[in-house]
Structure 1
Amino acid sequence: MSCVLLAIISFFTTTGTEAARAAPHILFVLADDYGYHDIGYHGSEINTPTLDKLALEGLRLENYYVQPICTPTRSQLLSGRYQIHTGLQHDIIWPTQPNGLPLDSPTLADKLREAGYSTHMVGKWHLGMYRKDYLPTSRGFDTYFGYLTGSEDYFTRDRCYESYCGMDLRDNLEPMNQTGEYSTHLFTQKVINIMKNYDGSKPLFIYLAFQAVHSPLQVPETYTHPYRHIKDQNRRIYAGMVSAMDEAVRNITEAFRAKGLWDNTILVFSTDNGGEILAGGNNWPLRGWKHSLWEGGVHGVGFVHSPFLNETVKGTVSWDLMHVTDWFPTLVHLAGGSLNGTLPLDGIDQWETINGQRISPRNEILHNIDPLFERSGKPAYNGTFDTSVRAALRAGDWKIITGNPGNSSWIPPPDANFAFFKSNQSVNFMLSKTKNVWLFNIAKDPYEDRDLADEYPSKVKEMLDRLSYYQSTAVPCHYPKSDPRADPKLHGGFWGPWE
């Protein structure tokens, strides 16, 4: 063998080894029902020192969007595809529904494992469980520990739905009868254990989907004590839940540091939707809340912290448009992976944007088109998208909403002393029952205070035509009826696969 050939082999072998060693660990933390106003750097009365420090040392994403409810955001994160392209346009996946994120395309975890990662999920799944094929360990995760549904008791793991009740906790495929420990602490310890047992052979991908701060409102009393001045009980307990989650993130990042991995880690923090006002959350000064298509339902809390960020972006704010689907191609790119084998993605690789090297290539976000949601009013225009259908689209600075957008109130934090509300609107502002199209310039009016639909009919028509285009690409909505075979009594008292 010639010296030249040996040199070439040596170069590629060394380069490959260094690339594998340099592959970043990825820690993705997803909070549940975490409101826009509920993080310290957005002016919250809730203390979040860990999240604030990480965000203020990293890049805060202030033009970042998620979906208004749980399942859609999680499905789009792991598939990189809009819910109109996965059949999950309507509502969430309920415990008794034979439904799940379609099996026709690899997940983010599949692609990262393919790229050589050790993949782990801890927390709330909520993407289907009626067959084992839909469980996390069949969707790219080497290990899984957590809840398959949602809304469990934080201490007992009990979950009731309709007339059915059962426990919901799994260690990989095995149901776990483990009670007493608060779920935020339980999930945190599980991540720390993953770190302690890490052998260094592969880069890590850890997807931590907290149950917090979703209802039921439960937290050890020690966390509510600092908020005893908050008169509203729901808000007081919720604040304690946020503090427990903030502490959990601190403990996890310390475990990464103790293992010597933090300097080679990318942390992404995101909420799954806007805060649930009736369960203590708050989205002030944004309009609306969870379930709604207003900014309070879809404008997410998000940031990135990593030594891989350019120094020019650390400690700054990005106003570039970004969507939860974008994490799929962005993280696969960072992992050195390939997008081959995926169905067409709606997400865009945003790493260069995050790193301040280019303006975001994203100009549009389809918030959703829901054909099953109750129609509202009559079509406002002929020959284009039916405005009685619930839908919303962001295009550049503009946003259009059609149909019934959900609760439209501006809700200040409980016990806060606000002298005025936007444009003197009442917090109980109610929508007309006949109106079903709204247009806003979000760049100039992020609080959706001034409806411009009547002033710019040509822009309305342009946006409706774009909704018509997206509707033409949609697959049929899949929202099956409840299946009595899901009853936990038939499965040892646990929620889990029944087919």
Structure 2
Amino acid sequence: MERTRVLSSLWIFLCCFNFHAVKGAQPNILFIVADDFGWNDVGFHNPGMLTPNIDKLAYGGIILNHSYVEPLCTPSRHAFMTGIYPYKSGMQHLVILPEQPYCSPLNLTFLPQKLKQLGYATHMIGKWHLGMCKWECTPTYRGFDTFLGYYQGQEDYYNKTVLGGLDFRDGKDVVRGDMTYSPITYATRADHLISKHNKSQPMFLYLPFQSVHEPIQVPEKYEDLYPNVKTEGRRKYSGMVSAMDEAIGNITESLKRNGMFNNTIIIFTADNGGWPTFYGNNYPLRGGKTTVYEGGTRASAFIYGAGLKRTGYTYDGLVHAVDWNPTLVAAAGGQPDVGIDGINLWEEIRSGLESKRTEFVYHIDEVLTLFEGHEAIRVGDYKLIQGYPGPYPGWYKPDEVTADQTIDYRPANYLRSYQKDNSSIDIGAELFNIKDDPYEHNNLAREQPALVKKMQGILDEYRKHLVPAMHPPNDKKGNPANFGGVWTPGWC
């Protein structure tokens, strides 16, 4: 009898021990980025978009209603990986062009490097766009165990070329002959990684889709899902969104099939707003990609899965791209780096608490071009814009705009003076109360000059940390003609 009681107690202890071990296990992390993805391009914002897999995760998790990114691709990805504002690293101006000899600074610690220190297997599938002129700039040198994808900012979805060169790698190896539509290729690779993964080790999978950046390409069956969309480009773009959604559904099914789904955190975010010229849509937000209006910087985003204490609601706290680094490190059981710009919001997001973030820099770019030379900050409910806001100053409904209607390079109502040598431009400030006026219709700058001055002072303090933008001229040493028609590192 005594032996039975001892064995029974031991069994209860082991069951409890195992339960707590599983309960406290480090979560897998799936970090999905959609490229040039508009606020109005997802079902949980727009019922006309067919995204059932994304919507199911969003509604079952936490929709992030005020999640912000940079207005362009490279700066946002730098922020995701480092937790540091791009303007503090010289990464603020436009994007890295294929023949430009620079990359995200090598002295900075990337998110996968932090997670590897915590025991994670780290994988990347998709678009890099953080520099590739030397091998040390590329994913497998910056913390990823494996990489399948491309280095540059855009490529053909089928033949994997961009600007006359093949740009597709498995690790360091060139992949030739893959003509599969890229979301399908990426979902297949994700399923392979998940199926072969050692389940005793936590996994980090960074999945920055090529979708839905131009070129506008999609198999006809996805375009056919939108017979009522009038504009061919918008119809194809919408099909691209649904193709990406199907890939995400296939990946979540793989997680379930392999017993990993219940212990996985899934993050979904755009890298910037939709690009009106290429049929992305942010309505009713103002503006689009490249602008510091909300349409260029307020991302469609959600978080789902393991560790969330409260789900099925919309979180209205502020979140910025720089916050994902420390937040995910904390969710993985680690200590975020000290001195970065990102704030650990893990407890606030998962519990529905007030965000610790009360202000942030939208963007600072000191270089004057047709697209840039602007800065913006958020302090509480208020947003201040200085400089040229960007070439998409309006509100664009889907199916009702063309490229000629959307681009406005120097809107006269902003311009006060413009020197002949283009060396100096003085554009009036814009002030918005984003809580009361989320669509930025009412410029309060003239009504509240004292607040403008106060926020300009705050922006001046941020600007003291600016590192001049790295944007060197193209170097023909990087041309793929020098490497057998392949975009290849090792020339800078």
Normalised by the length of structure 2, the TM-score is 0.90
Deviation at 1:299, TM superposition (A): 0.5
Letter of the structure 1 residue corresponding to residue 388 of structure 2: N
- Match of 2:389? 405
Letter of the structure 2 residue corresponding to residue 105 of structure 1: L
Is contact 2:124-2:147 (8 Å) kept?
Answer: yes
Q: C-alpha deviations, 1:183-223, integer Å up to 9, x for none?
A: 11111111111011112231000000100000000001011
Q: Note closer, same or farther for the CA distance 1:367–1:151 as it changes in structure 2 (3 Å cut).
A: same
Please state if 1:251 is matched with 2:215.
Answer: no
Structure-2 separation of matches of 1:270 and 1:355: 16
Q: Note closer, same or farther for the CA distance 1:193–1:222 as it changes in structure 2 (3 Å cut).
A: same
Please state if 1:392 is matched with 2:376.
Answer: yes
Q: How does 1:413-492 map to 2 (within 5 A)?
A: 413-414=398-399, 430-432=411-413, 433-434=415-416, 435-492=427-484
Q: Which one of the candidate residues 370, 373, 385 is aligned to 2:368?
A: 373
Is contact 1:67-1:73 (8 Å) kept?
Answer: yes
Provide structure 2 residue ranges, at least 5 long, that are not aligned to the other structure.
1-12, 417-426
Please state if 1:323 is matched with 2:323.
Answer: no
Structure-2 separation of matches of 1:96 and 1:216: 20
Is contact 1:375-1:403 (8 Å) kept?
Answer: no
Please state if 1:33 is matched with 2:36.
Answer: yes
Deviation at 1:374, TM superposition (A): 3.6
Overall identity of the aligned pairs, in %: 41
Q: How does 1:71-470 map to 2 (within 5 A)?
A: 71-160=74-163, 165-310=164-309, 313-339=310-336, 342=337, 344-356=339-351, 358-374=353-369, 390-406=374-390, 407-414=392-399, 430-432=411-413, 433-434=415-416, 435-470=427-462
Q: C-alpha deviations, 1:222-273, integer Å up to 9, x for none?
A: 1111212211011000010000001000000000000000010000000000
Q: C-alpha deviations, 1:162-202, integer Å up to 9, x for none?
A: xxx20100000111113310011111111111011112231
Structure-1 separation of matches of 2:135 and 2:292: 33
Q: C-alpha deviations, 1:19-68, integer Å up to 9, x for none?
A: 79710000001000010001111124221111111101110000110111
Is contact 1:68-1:290 (8 Å) kept?
Answer: yes
Q: Number of aligned residue pairs: give it.
A: 460
Is contact 2:315-2:352 (8 Å) kept?
Answer: no
Secondary structure (helix, strand or coil) at the match of 1:490 reads helix
Structure-2 separation of matches of 1:428 and 1:67: 19
Structure-1 separation of matches of 2:218 and 2:369: 36
Letter of the structure 1 residue corresponding to residue 398 of structure 2: P
Secondary structure (helix, strand or coil) at the match of 1:240 reads helix
Structure-2 separation of matches of 1:389 and 1:364: 21
- Match of 1:66? 69
- Match of 2:7? none
Q: Note closer, same or farther for the CA distance 1:355–1:237 as it changes in structure 2 (3 Å cut).
A: same
Letter of the structure 2 residue corresponding to residue 470 of structure 1: Y
Deviation at 1:483, TM superposition (A): 0.7
- Match of 1:495? 487
Normalised by the length of structure 1, the TM-score is 0.89
Deviation at 1:497, TM superposition (A): 0.5
Name the Cα RMSD after superposition.
2.2
Is contact 1:105-1:343 (8 Å) kept?
Answer: no
Deviation at 1:343, TM superposition (A): 6.6
Deviation at 1:436, TM superposition (A): 2.6
Structure-1 separation of matches of 2:77 and 2:191: 23
Structure-1 separation of matches of 2:158 and 2:474: 27
Q: Note closer, same or farther for the CA distance 1:375–1:146 as it changes in structure 2 (3 Å cut).
A: closer
Q: C-alpha deviations, 1:433-466, integer Å up to 9, x for none?
A: 2243100000000000000000000110111111
Is contact 1:111-1:338 (8 Å) kept?
Answer: no
Is contact 2:71-2:363 (8 Å) kept?
Answer: no
Deviates more, 1:268-277 or 1:351-360: 351-360
Structure-2 separation of matches of 1:219 and 1:357: 38
Structure-1 separation of matches of 2:352 and 2:155: 43
Secondary structure (helix, strand or coil) at the match of 2:40 reads helix
Letter of the structure 2 residue corresponding to residue 107 of structure 1: F
Structure-2 separation of matches of 1:251 and 1:375: 41
Structure-2 separation of matches of 1:240 and 1:19: 40
